[in-house]
Structure 1
């Protein structure tokens, strides 16, 4: 049994998935005893006395994230070593046994409060693998323990936008493998945080398949339902050792949603991709990596490929032993925010006249793609899978970026398109693309034109476009004052 093109076209995101996608760019904070042992993975035998940041400032972390344009932060509340950044009732292996804040501190509270004060959303990472807890591997007992800790996090820190699970799963002290009760975890999250997406080992958000910032040329959000199930299967069956993460089934494949894939699928779901990577080589802070912070150019490229490739971008910033985002990382985040702000400051297509080859009605006319409203969109009648839209820029403009968006409440439909510019006599093709989805940032060599055309050549049942914005990203750089 195969999935039809119309069936796939009708699959749309939940309200929580759509709200998550609109966040676009958010921060990961890895901080625990590993920061003080100079390790990436702890053993669970570390003493809580090691956790003693002397200048910790959660507001500084959040300010660094906000300066880059991030809209949310996810904190590693418990990594694989089992050390809890909140004073959990269920273990002494936490900040309450550390010298930090004289054992009275709650780092989850401080980061949550800092996010809410700064207007950023807050999310939690909590590792199901716990190398400290003695009942790990005794599946029933440990699942009860983990649910109790999860309940503390879900009910004590306000509204969460995300609960982030990885698939790490090793043997317990008894030599047995823990079988995670994913369904119970999910049920508890839905009960207490119904608006939070459950990421990676969860039903809402899919891992892109790597931690290096690689993105697919074609990233479908509508994929076979088996990809959701395989995340859970792999987490319970694949032991992870050292710094090697398991290769989750299907996550590393390039084609997850084409018509060829649909022909072999029994059911498809909305399961969009998140790309996660670190600003440094490691996930936790290491002094010897202070000179290895990604450049502004690398980060801009990552942003445009991820957010502009129908994914979201989760960038890790590891605080140092002082409890601060290092000056190099902080500066780079500020530079990134300033650069993106300049590049995407002026949309030269705002309010432009648009002519469409066909539209369903006045409500869905071509002008909807330049009106700046996310609730409006263009579409043709059902069954029309090919169409074009011409955008008049009101005079010749230099351009090198075009941002396109589909109207996701009606699904992901566009399979292939190309862009043309009018040279005064004829139309010239200058960009060829595949899927659009939530957002497609089309990057190309600068051209000067007063008219553009979006040619949609392949789509599912009918296409939609909710936005077309046009930019000359070199303009602000070009006119910056000469600083000598």
Structure 2
């Protein structure tokens, strides 16, 4: 090899190494915390549900709806942006693909997309351009559940996972800086697509590698407690589904969303049907939520022409007279980094000291926060719980979700080479959740010696993770 070739090879190597290190350093706890603070301080924004359901009187459209239905002759994203500004909103968030699986951008991943409809326009590009032109930030919504592609429970393949990665790569490389992705249809009780079926950590770190400042918000509050950031950068509440934030107790960066109209997507009744009471929206939700570290996202659905109805425009102007000041936090309360990695404790063999009646040991690692293992109050001398991984597993964090009024103290140990070794870790407590983070260990079993503060230990769920750090 010539010296020139060697020099070029080394230059390429160090360029690639430098880019890798830059990518690693740019995604950091500091970057994440700043993005979370910036999001909370945005205060109030517009959710925009627009897609194939707009033309079908449904919030979930036929996953094989004819492409020629999609006609919006007056589509005007600039009107949407100006409407958001009139309400003193600071950003917009557009549904790029809803559950039925119709992308409204120029994707190369499927022919079933907006570019093959009579509209034949990249709606995501028009949205991002219009909102930025009007001084507003941009966020995107994306559904993991995709009925057209068959990305649904019990049918997911490697090709499906690659399609999700390819679509998210398009969205995060073709439309400039995206402040946040709102993810839906993933590990929700109704979608039943788990974070193992579509690996959350792979998707999360892909997003961060493409745009380190982009927040990933999964609408998973129906399942995960509000005391910690489980599989999301922002604790997100879909109020229309009965998920309400605690204004008095919330200490996490949060988002709550609600439609201005009766549904998320436009219906033919909307132009004449009353919208929600805007004074109540501002005074009962937006301002109090802002005061509880929560950004409020109000959905306004464009009609089949691609415009917002006059009654919605009028309501937004009125909101602008009521909502004047967005939050201005310099810091947020202390909280632990999100839990985003694979839970190796889920549904493995578990054992325990004497339990109380039917609340047996497997309830503590069944991936259901509504069930619990409860120690028998008569077992006062020794209370313990154990997970058996069957073979050695590496892990560096444990998360325990306790009963609301049943705190306990824990000492952790792991079995390696036939001997038990203590884990030196002091938990950080957030509400009823205790988070242990420590240096990596390798063990076949994990044991908890437990000292209940009251009569019984109550453990709703234990998670064990090998976090990427």
Give me the TM-score of the superposition, normalised by structure 2.
0.57
Instruction: Report the Cα distance in structure 2 between the residues aligned to 1:158 and 1:66, rounded to whole angstroms.
Output: 21
Match of 2:274 in 1: 292
Match of 1:119 in 2: 135
SS, match of residue 217 in structure 2 = strand
Partner deviation per Cα, 1:270-316 (whole Å, 9 max, x = no partner): x4221110001200011223322112212222212221232110110
Instruction: Report the Cα distance in structure 1 between the residues aligned to 2:162 and 2:327, rounded to whole angstroms.
Output: 46
Match of 1:53 in 2: 72
SS, match of residue 239 in structure 2 = coil
Match of 2:256 in 1: 275
Match of 1:439 in 2: none
Instruction: Report the Cα distance in structure 1 between the residues aligned to 2:188 and 2:259, rounded to whole angstroms.
Output: 24
For residue 96 of structure 1, report the CA deviation from its aligned partner: 1.3
| Equivalences for residues 403-442 of structure 1 within 5 A | 407-408=330-331, 411=334
Partner deviation per Cα, 1:19-48 (whole Å, 9 max, x = no partner): 111111111100011010010112311111
Match of 1:144 in 2: 162
Moved over 3 A (4+): 167-171, 175-178, 212-215, 403-407, 409-412
CA RMSD between the two structures? 2.9
Of 40, 45, 61 in structure 2, the residue corresponding to residue 42 of structure 1 is 61
SS, match of residue 73 in structure 1 = strand
For residue 164 of structure 1, report the CA deviation from its aligned partner: 0.7
Of 79, 94, 108 in structure 2, the residue corresponding to residue 89 of structure 1 is 108
Does structure 1 residue 220 correspond to structure 2 residue 253?
no
8 A contact 2:238–2:258 mirrored in 1: no
8 A contact 2:145–2:151 mirrored in 1: no
8 A contact 1:129–1:170 mirrored in 2: no
SS, match of residue 109 in structure 1 = helix
Distance of aligned partners of 1:335 and 1:149 in 2 relative to their CA distance in 1, 3 Å threshold: same
For residue 192 of structure 1, report the CA deviation from its aligned partner: 1.1
Match of 1:319 in 2: 302
Instruction: Report the Cα distance in structure 2 between the residues aligned to 1:13 and 1:152, rounded to whole angstroms.
Output: 22
Match of 2:207 in 1: 189
For residue 134 of structure 1, report the CA deviation from its aligned partner: 4.3
8 A contact 1:72–1:120 mirrored in 2: yes
8 A contact 2:253–2:332 mirrored in 1: no
Instruction: Report the Cα distance in structure 2 between the residues aligned to 1:66 and 1:78, rounded to whole angstroms.
Output: 24
For residue 97 of structure 1, report the CA deviation from its aligned partner: 1.2
Does structure 1 residue 108 correspond to structure 2 residue 124?
yes
> Which residues of structure 1 form unaligned runs of 5+?
1-10, 222-270, 345-402, 413-459, 461-484
> Which residues of structure 2 form unaligned runs of 5+?
1-29, 220-230, 336-429, 431-469
For residue 106 of structure 1, report the CA deviation from its aligned partner: 0.4
